[in-house]
């Protein structure tokens, strides 16, 4: 289990430990880890920033709530002057000229970025094995995957290297690693957090969110990064509540929906028992269980992978070897340069998804695939709305099993796609989801997924904290 929290880091600083020491220990832990959480470390700048904050603290200056605390950022979120690769050879060496809004907001609160975390290439995967710079391993069992695509961020928190990290979630990429690694993962409502500076995979699905060792820390980070951004016209123009105020509200009278489609065939019996125990903790704390149905869930995988791959095909067309990417050597023509650059520097899974996405958008197939998938997406969204007329939130598995063995799903991409069945509908509907650890199974972490109506993250935090307290 993770050992470093925001409260613990602040306490160490208040007791006289320097930020330089805190950051130095985080860097040392990252370098000594054998689980491959980081693609890039930023030693020089992070230590310089720590010294600046130590001086400011000594001089009695007012500091932000995260002053001097090390954090990590997923490698598809832009950081000015720091290598940002999306886990791909095609962006190896790319240093953005600007930082993402979410990063700027954390840094303005005093957080110190120590590095960029490993991930599935361009977010396309559920295992973090397609990272071009090395496989990521699960701290609970290094022979197993940490989940993906934000595996490195989950591992950096699970190992106690940093108390919090940012990831992104397109179809479960925060929630699945949180479940597999035994940490808290929060996927906000689409539009709650600015996507400016997040390198796009599927623009209508992608969302930045935090990993943390507890619900309180996740709530605090969300409060800091949420809010409208003039540079992202998909960010919601809504006031941002203090999400930490929901932590102690309890769940007495809260209606928890149990969607039948998530709890049936394919769910490992031991995982199911652990998740049911988590639901019992909520009912023991005063929540009320309500049965609900989401019948179109069975179409979610097909609809998601058509929409996501179509958007990926469009978004990744910009990586062509002409501007800021890598480029093949000795190309004989412009067309040859395009073709060879993308063939040589994109990984196999990325190429597969680009090809499938291009196909479903092509003339003669658009209506048969993409347009139909969008209609199913709307149907799924409406079914969630109907379910929330009967309950305040939903409780569901995050994955049907515990973490898989490394390599287990690489030769069968369809099996990997189907493993997302419990998470992708949330992205299709643009809803918030929170994963909180429950009892492990066979020594491997398991996380219960809580889902709320759009922009009701406070309800998730309220229930997640009650679940956490009951587990304590």
Residue 74 falls in the annotated catalytic set = yes
Domain final position from 367, 390, 421: 367
Asked if the peptide bond before residue 149 counts as cis, ω within 30 degrees of 0, the response is: yes
Residue 147 CB: number of other CB atoms within 10 A? 34
pLDDT at 363: 84
Answer yes or no: pTM beyond 0.85.
yes
pLDDT at 404: 94
- Tell me which of 173, 179, 213, 235 is the catalytic residue: 173
CA pair distance 460, 175, nearest whole angstrom: 13
Does 451 reside within a domain?
no
The encoded tokens of residue 419 equal 């493993």
Q: Say what the pLDDT of residue 330 is.
A: 86
Check whether residue 331 and residue 224 sit in a common domain.
Answer: no
Q: How many Å apart are CA 420 and CA 396, to the nearest integer? A: 13
If asked whether residues 61 and 125 sit together in one domain, one would say yes
- Has residue 271 been placed in a domain? no
Q: Is there a single domain that holds both residue 241 and residue 337?
A: no
Among residues 338, 311, 313, the alpha carbon closest in space to that of 90 is found at 338
Question: How many structural domains compose the chain?
Answer: 2
pLDDT for the residue numbered 403: 97
| HSE value, Cβ hemisphere, 13 Å, CA-based, for 109 | 19
Cα–Cα distance measured from residue 69 to residue 15, given in angstroms and rounded to the nearest whole number: 14
173 is catalytic: yes
pLDDT, tens digit, for every residue of 31-90? 999 999 999 999 999 999 999 999 999 999 999 999 999 999 999 999 999 999 999 999
Of 367, 394, 411, which one is at a domain's C-terminal end? 367
Residues 315, 212, single domain; the answer is: no
Say yes or no: 15 and 96 in one domain. Answer: yes
Residue 277: inside a domain, yes or no?
no
Q: Give buried/exposed letters for 376-411 (b at 16+ CB in 10 A, else e).
A: bbeebbebbeebbeebbbbbbbbbbbbbbebeebbe
Whether residue 232 is found in the same domain as residue 129: yes
Residue 343, domain member (yes or no): yes
Tell me, yes or no, whether 220 and 363 share the same domain. Answer: no
Which CATH number do you get for residue 179?
A: 3.90.1300.10
Q: Which of 367, 383, 417 is the last residue of a domain?
A: 367
Host domain of residue 329? 302-367
CA dist., res. 206 & res. 430, Å (int): 9
Q: Are residues 314 and 233 in the same domain?
A: no
**pLDDT computed for residue 2 by the predictor:** 61
Asked if 314 is an active-site residue, the reply is no
One domain for residues 308 and 242: no
Residues of the chain with pLDDT under 50: none
Of 19, 46, 74, 187, the active-site residue reads 74
Catalytic residue, candidates 19, 128, 149, 313: 149
Sheet strand arrangement including 433-437 = 38-41, 112-117, 70-74, 164-168, 208-212, 184-187, 433-437, 447-451, 393-397, 255-259, 288-292
Whether 230 and 334 map to the same domain: the answer is no
Residues 332 and 225 in one domain: no
């Amino acid at each position: 289990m993770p050992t470093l929290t925001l409260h613990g880091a602040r306490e160490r600083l208040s007791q006289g430990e320097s930020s330089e020491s805190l950051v130095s220990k985080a860097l040392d832990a990252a370098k000594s880890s054998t689980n491959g959480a980081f693609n890039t470390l930023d030693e020089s700048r992070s230590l310089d920033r720590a010294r600046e904050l130590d001086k400011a603290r000594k001089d009695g200056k007012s500091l932000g709530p995260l002053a001097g605390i090390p954090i990590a950022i997923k490698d598809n979120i832009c950081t000015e002057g720091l290598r940002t690769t999306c886990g791909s050879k095609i962006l190896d060496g790319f240093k953005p000229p600007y930082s993402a809004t979410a990063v700027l907001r954390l840094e303005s609160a005093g957080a110190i970025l120590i590095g960029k975390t490993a991930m599935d290439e361009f977010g396309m995967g559920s295992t973090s094995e397609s990272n071009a710079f090395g496989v990521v391993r699960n701290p609970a069992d290094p022979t197993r995957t940490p989940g993906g695509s934000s595996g490195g961020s989950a591992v950096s928190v699970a190992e106690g290297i940093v108390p919090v990290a940012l990831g992104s979630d397109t179809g479960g990429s925060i929630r699945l690693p949180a479940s597999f690694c035994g940490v808290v993962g929060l996927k906000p409502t689409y539009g709650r957090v600015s996507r400016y500076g997040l390198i796009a995979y599927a623009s209508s699905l992608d969302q930045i969110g935090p990993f943390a060792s507890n619900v309180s820390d996740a709530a605090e980070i969300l409060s800091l990064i949420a809010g409208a951004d003039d540079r992202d016209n998909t960010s919601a123009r809504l006031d941002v509540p203090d999400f930490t105020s929901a932590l102690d509200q309890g769940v007495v009278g809260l209606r928890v929906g149990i969607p039948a489609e998530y709890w049936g065939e394919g769910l490992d019996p031991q995982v199911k028992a652990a998740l049911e125990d988590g639901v019992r903790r909520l009912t023991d704390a005063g929540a009320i269980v309500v049965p609900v149905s989401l019948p179109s869930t069975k179409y979610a995988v097909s609809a998601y992978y058509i929409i996501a791959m179509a958007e990926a095909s469009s978004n990744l067309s910009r990586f062509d070897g002409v501007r800021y990417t890598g480029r093949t050597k000795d190309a004989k023509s412009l067309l040859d340069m395009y073709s060879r650059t993308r063939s040589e520097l994109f990984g196999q899974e990325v190429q597969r998804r680009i090809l499938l996405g291009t196909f479903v958008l092509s003339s003669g197939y658009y209506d048969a695939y993409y347009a139909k998938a969008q209609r199913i997406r709307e149907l799924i969204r409406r079914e969630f709305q109907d379910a929330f007329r009967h309950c305040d939130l939903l409780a569901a598995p995050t994955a049907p099993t515990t973490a898989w063995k490394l390599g287990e799903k690489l030769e069968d991409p369809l099996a990997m796609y189907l493993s997302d069945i419990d998470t992708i509908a949330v992205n299709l509907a643009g809803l918030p989801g929170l994963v909180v650890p429950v009892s492990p199974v066979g020594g491997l972490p398991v996380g219960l997924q809580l889902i709320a109506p759009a922009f009701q993250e406070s309800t998730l935090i309220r229930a997640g904290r009650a679940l956490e307290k009951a587990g304590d």
